[in-house]
Structure 1
């Protein structure tokens, strides 16, 4: 078994949504000051790096992050590679079997420079959602900051996924991940009332990948 980290490192240079809270970390108390320990302090948006969106992020009546079902963020997952696309919809899955898949992560390779927030990247078209729901998929993950176009205000794919009961994982690091079946662990923090949460997302290789 091998563990593959698919999380963005949380460093102060990490790119964030334009206008969002930049990440800062410092020592509020040093060992020299306290005589015994260092105590760190962090400030950041909950949508920094690899993160989960709760429906409350885009719907005031939606579930908050502490209300999400943790079982969805743990278990077998399929990673597929769909590069060189402006968007991904149902037609892009012709010939791709999703039978038995409950969690799906798409590697798009469209965020070329991880040190900068992208101007554009691959997004999901809302017409993909009925297919995912029909196949029983409960979580969709991407290697980009949003499942919708970055300039979208209506967020149609976010809403369609929430209506279908499909959770969203964004900002995964997948350039080193091959297509295949893995085990996913990407637990959000129990932020009461939160609209999202950073996650430490990892994949574990399976000795026998089956669905």
Structure 2
């Protein structure tokens, strides 16, 4: 029986691996930052507070849709959800730069589950850092050959900030993998967990924010 079919133990620990979405959250230069405005507020004539938000779907922890890096590819509301839920391995590659390579992953590559998140930051960046670590395309292929269907990273992208070819995103397309970016893995020990990181059903969108959590397997 897979872990996703086993009821969680009531004392199973949760790790929140999502950064706070706020106006100061780092975004790619030119991308739409998060902003919030109040459209109605509690008053004698109004019974509730109401707000409206504006943001790129790539702010904070998020799932890219294939549409993000390929025309005529599925938008985020068309992507099956099962990949974003289930057994996951966190692999530490702290200090890996500028790319996560196969060599950074091999120590934890035995019997990989379908989901792998790589921690390469000692502490996740809270301001824009143009030299963040990304994935080498060869590392993505190495994971896919071992049955991995979703990869994640604690930086803004699987490709370097200055990449125009987006070789790692194109590798995701070729191998039909899903991806989570901008995670916070600062306090997560290396090992296996249950991942819960469902994207919103945003019609036609190239990505979606996720509230990504890891749950202890007991």
TM-score (norm 2): 0.90
Match of 1:195 among 177, 181, 206: 206
Q: For the residues of structure 1 that align with 2:203 and 2:92, how far apart are their CA atoms?
A: 35
How far residue 58 of structure 1 moved from its aligned partner, in angstroms, is 1.1
Q: Deviations over 1:129-152 (max 9, x none)?
A: 221111110000000000011111
Could you tell me how far apart the structure 2 residues matched to 1:142 and 1:77 are? 13
Deviation at 1:90, TM superposition (A): 2.0
Are positions 1:91 and 2:124 aligned together?
no
2:117 is the counterpart of 1:105? yes
Taking a change above 3 Å as real, the CA distance of residues 128 and 113 of structure 1, as seen in their structure-2 partners, is closer
Q: Deviations over 1:101-135 (max 9, x none)?
A: 10000000166541x11121111111112211111
Contiguous gaps of at least 5 residues in structure 1: none
Distance 1:118 1:15, change over 3 A: same
Match of 1:175 among 169, 181, 186: 186
Aligned to 2:165: 154
Partners of 1:111 and 1:144 within 8 A in 2? no
Which residue in 2 is equivalent to 1:130? Answer: 141
Within a 5 Å distance, the mapping from 1:1-211 to structure 2 comes to 1-32=12-43, 34-86=45-97, 87-109=99-121, 113-114=125-126, 116-207=127-218
RMSD value, Cα: 1.4
Q: Deviations over 1:69-113 (max 9, x none)?
A: 100000010001101111112233334324241000000016654
The change in CA–CA distance for 1:65 and 1:112 in structure 2 (over 3 A counts) is closer
Distance in 1 (CA, whole Å) between partners of 2:125 and 2:64 is: 23
Deviation at 1:172, TM superposition (A): 0.2
Which 10-residue stretch deviates more, 32-41 or 124-133? 32-41
Q: CA deviation at 1:40?
A: 0.9
